[in-house]
Chains A and B, each alone.
Chain A
Amino acid sequence: MEQRLEVYSVGRLTVEKKRKEDGRYIYYYFPEEDGGER
């Protein structure tokens, strides 16, 4: 299970910063019109 840390925007993308169970960071970038939590 990934832990959600932060949400912000860059360009036309929304970014979700999460932490994996093993501690590594992962960043999801998706078009803003998609919206919603991943």
Chain B
Amino acid sequence: MAELRWNPILERWNIVSDERQDRPVLPEDSCPLCPEVLEVPQEDYHIVSFENRFPALKRDPGGPNQQGDSFYRVRPNKGVCEVLLYTSDHDVQPADISQDRFEDLISVWQDRFADLSREDFVDYIYIFENRGEEIGVTLYHPHGQLYAFPFVPPLAQKALDSARSHYERAGSCIYCRVMEKEREGGSRVIWEDENFIAFVPFFAHLPYEVHLYPKRHFPDVLRMKDEEAPSLAASIKGILTMYEGLFPVEEFPYMMTFHQAPVDGDDYRYFHFHLEFYSLQRAKDKIKYRAGVETGAGTFISSISPEKMAQDLREAGGVE
């Protein structure tokens, strides 16, 4: 069974995809993402992107299994889910990936964004990485993912609505304003160069949440200038190095997420491309769970102040 089902109360699409139950979870005998095992029949590779064997969204989904109506709406789960392999080296930690390879990864993200944005059934392209068992990864091999949605997902829509409202009211970008506020005191800034700035935002809602903004205003990864790409690569590598040094755990769990303008043809000049990183690891042996208040009420309780998180990250990265 696979389809999109509309929640008329929260006004958002949910994806039903029960075949994902069959995904292998942390296989011990061999890794399907390593060369010549399953997904990549080459003896070695640099970077590879391929369509997921167990996709939540499909190019050819067939009809919905459930009959919908005007209230309980149902749509085919049409879209694309890709897996991006950062390297053929199964054991390398993401923070140890070279600057050159991160710059190549940016080219890959740009190429996949450009290619999928030309598909008329795609409205929003979401690039992300899950790392660590606590986040729910099913494979250890260094990789990220991409979902090409046939709709704008709800958090992205909420952010777009706020950005548009601020633009209409103040005539400026809400993300540029956040960046200005973070630079005023600087107590939450953890990394900065001439093109990018990384900080734990005033309103961080998850452990060691980091936002990474380009200083120049542009809406998506494709509009980034060539000379800005090395800064983005260095800043991602810098943040992952801080994460790795934060606690003596085997693999620091994190999510890396790209936030970009939709590709549905509308005008999103008010949106500001950026990345957000989150963890669930709030101490060496403590995990932040998404429990009743977070899940049922949508309000997050942070047991570490954003200022303390920023201080911890700077110390972990050896930043003065």
Interface residues of A (CB under 8 A from B): 2, 10-13, 15, 20, 24-31, 34, 38
Contacts and interface: CB of A to CB of B under 8 A. Distances in A.
A29 B42 contact: no
5 contacts: A20-B50, A26-B39, A27-B111, A29-B47, A30-B47
B216 interface: no
B49 interface: yes
B111 A15 contact: yes
A34 B46 contact: yes
Interface in B8-52: 39-42, 45-51
Given A29-B46, A29-B104, A24 B53 contact: yes
Contacts, number: 56
A11 B106 CA distance: 9
A28 B42 contact: yes
Given A13-B46, A13-B107, 13 more contacts: A10-B110, A13-B47, A15-B111, A26-B39, A26-B49, A27-B112, A28-B45, A28-B46, A28-B48, A29-B104, A31-B46, A31-B104, A34-B46
B156 interface: no
A13 B45 contact: no
A24 B107 CA distance: 22
B107 A26 contact: no
Contacts of B47: 13, 29-30
Nearest to B52: A24
B104 A24 contact: no
A28 B104 CA distance: 12
B97 interface: no
Nearest to A24: B51
Nearest to B103: A11
A31 B45 CA distance: 10
Given A12-B104, A24-B50, A30 B112 contact: no
Contacts of B110: 10-11
Contacts of A11: 103-104, 106-107, 110
B108 A13 contact: yes
Contacts of B45: 28, 30, 38
B41 A2 contact: yes
Contacts of B42: 28, 38
Contacts of B112: 27
A12 B46 CA distance: 12
A24 B55 CA distance: 11
Contacts of A38: 42, 45
A24 B42 CA distance: 16
A26 B48 contact: yes
Contacts of A31: 46, 104
A17 to B, nearest CB: 9
B108 A25 contact: no
A13 B50 contact: no
Contact of B51 (A13, A26, A34): A26
A38 B44 CA distance: 10
Contact of A27 (B39, B49, B53, B104): B49
Contacts of B40: 26
Nearest to A11: B107
Which of A13, A26, A29 neighbours the largest number of chain B CB atoms within 10 Å of its CB?
A29
B163 to A, nearest CB: 29
Interface string B47-72: 11111010000000000000000000
